[in-house]
Structure 1
Amino acid sequence: MISAQRNKYLETTIQTASPAQLLIMLYDGAIRFCRAGIEAIRNNNVKDANVNLIKAQDIVSELIITLDRSAPVSESLLKLYEYFGHLLIQANIKKSAEPVEEVLQYLLELKETWIQANKLAASGSAGAGVQHA
């Protein structure tokens, strides 16, 4: 029962979120799965490392798919996301935490950048948000 209520809450949250909120939610998920993958690697838990790193890769793929290719910064973001995907695959193959830690640091910085950009856009024009470049 509680799980069904939680799923309904999450579904409603996603359906009512702005594009900027959805982007930040994607970053939050990728960050969470990277951290879980790093912990699993450090604990020699191969199965959990694989599951979490694949989830992080899936989110990075979603970031690539949803990228607005008409934005000037999109080409740079695309290359960066592709690099993240490469690092996550290498980390998963080698069960090495270092590549995931690199991705994690970039994700944390990018998330903060998007949060700040959304705040600036919202303060600059009433209710405007940031689209995924």
Structure 2
Amino acid sequence: MSFQNAQTAYQQTMKQAEDYRKSTGKNTNQTFTPGSASSGGTAIGSVKPGAQQKPAANPYQQNALETASSGDLTLLLYNGCVKFIDKADQAMQDKQIEDKNNFIKRAQDIIRELMVTLRTDTEVGANMYSLYDFIHRRLIDANVQNDRDVLQEARDLVVDFRDTWKEVIKKDRQERFGGGGQA
């Protein structure tokens, strides 16, 4: 995925969120749902707040999730996926088959969430969907074959997506706010 395409997708998501807030008078992203009639479709890599959401362990985490932008939520998903892949790798190494299976399934859930939130009517979205599908299949292969190399291959792709997305957020914040906003 090219940096320019990711940046364009992120800017579209942020514009949709801002337009939604203006039209509803809301001043948080908490109720913004990409893909709703008022937002004009799901943006590439955006996350639907509230989708598969469980209460956070503490109120500060819950507040952080509720007020995060869709770009930040996508970054959290990438980070969570990497975390679960790393835990699965450790469980695989320790021969803890049930734990390995559970961690890989959680990573697969994250990839599926990223897949369903894509707008695939563009070339970039369709390409990202294909890559997500490939990652998902590699996670299945790693689980079934107990293959750490295949798991690492999936991890490397997720890390590439995460790092690209992180740079897009950082660049967007620099352009919008003139600072070096950390992602």
TM, length-normalised to structure 2: 0.63
Q: Residue deviations 1:60-119, cap 9 Å, x none?
A: 000101113345411111000000110111111111111110011111121111011111
Distance 2:124 2:156 in 1: 20
Bigger shift: 91-100 or 19-28? 91-100
Q: State the identity as a percent.
A: 27
Shift of 1:125: 2.9
Shift of 1:9: 2.3
Give 1:101's match in structure 2, choosing from 152, 174, 181: 152
Residue of structure 2 equivalent to 1:30: 81
**SS of structure 2 residue aligned to 1:6:** coil
Larger helix share, 1 or 2? 1
2:91 pairs with 1:63: no
Residue of structure 2 equivalent to 1:49: 100
Residue of structure 1 equivalent to 2:165: 114
User: Mind listing any 5+ residue stretches in structure 2 that lack a counterpart?
Assistant: 1-54, 179-183
Larger radius of gyration: 2
Residue of structure 2 equivalent to 1:13: 64
RMSD after superposition: 1.8
Structure with more relative contact order (C-alpha pairs < 8 Å, separation 6 or more): 1
User: Mind listing any 5+ residue stretches in structure 1 that lack a counterpart?
Assistant: 128-133
TM, length-normalised to structure 1: 0.85
Give yes or no for contact 2:84–2:103 (8 Å, CA) kept in 1: yes
Residue of structure 1 equivalent to 2:38: none
Distance 2:63 2:122 in 1: 29
Distance 1:63 1:21 in 2: 13
Residue of structure 2 equivalent to 1:130: none
Change (3 A) 1:71 1:8: farther
